[in-house]
Structure 1
């Protein structure tokens, strides 16, 4: 509960309005027939309204039917002002375990100070009630010990980068006031922040590669011919100019490494070898004669297209095979109407007049 901070705030506000007497029993209720009763009633009702609307709705319902501000104030004080041992122990533990972490020094000190003030509200400093006044220094000794304990809580909760301040304060005798320690720590924090900001400014002033490339355009240059405006991947001097005779392109280092396994020449591979696959139309070595190709299938197709057979090749029937067999048996007999040209084909056309019919000795 935040009763102690609330009560202090209310007392301050009522003192500014000159109405604090209504909660401290300094303004008793006059008789109803007295001339000052209407003024007292107005001021009391005003203070009651302030108190009712300054607390949470759950607590407001328990005091809504009270008419006097003094009764409301005492009822709240009796219910929430009395601290128990468990609450005091929790506050002391929170103050001891509180650390700065990611907080600024001011925020850390504020949280610690709130815990100290709440502990003081539950356990105020004892005062001497001796009559006559005693001359012992017990009160001052207790106050000094409490001050030392709180100074250690403040120093222990700071981050490790304040170790210089911690060592400096602990060497002092007596321990300086809490406000002085706080001032030293804040000065050290300002130095840290100033150095960090200066480092950021210096870092931002150094141009990065990305920023320099955005501000100034770097010209593109070819690494092969060292001319601007293009790269090596699109260099005509390396890869050849458009619509140019391949012979006029000087071989570069990459093409000189290529060796054809067919003609053993440099600059190309077997896949684009003209000596194997034939020269393209327009080439000075291009001719109607078929190129000599090692591939058997390509050679057969090229020969058939270049030299068509004068006679039509047909499939032999069983009767034709029988004729061939008879010819093998009768090797001395000449057939006037049959002339064998090659295996798998024969001609039955009669010989032209004036030419003698002869049989080739291909079967000898």
Structure 2
């Protein structure tokens, strides 16, 4: 079979690139995964602890709400502790934006039209420029401007796009161009249509999201349908999966979405069957345990967990490590697509974890050797792989 698979190609929209702290967004940079803390920002310790969990899950950028002076007072300490760039979430009060910028925010999430006069917008832009901040314009169907609702009668794609263009103009009038834009809605059809319209109208990076998507399962499905359509169409430079769940879960879902489309390859990609009466071991419990125990693996590799020999061998041959269920509690292990050895049920879980960890170490070593040979480092090699 040919290794060229044009039906897998995603032609990404050409956007200009901005920097959010040290992280490039747009252009040919990898699509970044974001989340948002839900602790009281004034409680710096709790917020830092949550940020650390999100970083371990792989978050590239994290948003932190700054609704009051207590929050912006704590924000500087939080910024110093964070290993990834932080976005200060600002609504209405422009002074919180000034304080957050001075405290080290890498990006300010604002709607320029909602913070008052042109002079206030100018003050925020001056603070952003002085501190090297980007700005994220956040348009939301639930908070559209009154004049647009009167003009269109209800939230619609045209209204969201017009709102975004109005906010963009306010920044461009002040010669500010380091911005990205989101046009979110909880309605999947509305959000997708708005993003598609905006993608044709501007060249700035787009931040994807289906807002207020719901709980872990429902919100994951809804977000995957909406953002999956956009990503498949090449639209989107950064994303947040908005779930009523812990923020680190948003990060994991975001990466799973990108992995499914071949846009990022961080961590273990699990191929597993839904199981049936033919299964030689408890596939469901095994996969649940493996997903939990392999969260620390950042190296991209694939693992197949198949309950029987019907489709198992074919799937296992396509992954780095695979296991297929057999009779009598004896199961076949595949390494690099080739049958290698058997393992008993009682030893299977620990054995798979050991194999994955060993394979990850091998891949990282190969990347490090390749990096040494061309003057780069392992970190750059992993980034290139993603």
**TM superposition score normalised by structure 2:** 0.21
- Highest RCO, 1 vs 2 (Cα 8 Å, sep ≥ 6): 2
Give the TM-score normalised by the residue count of structure 1.
Answer: 0.22
Q: Which has the higher helix share?
A: 1
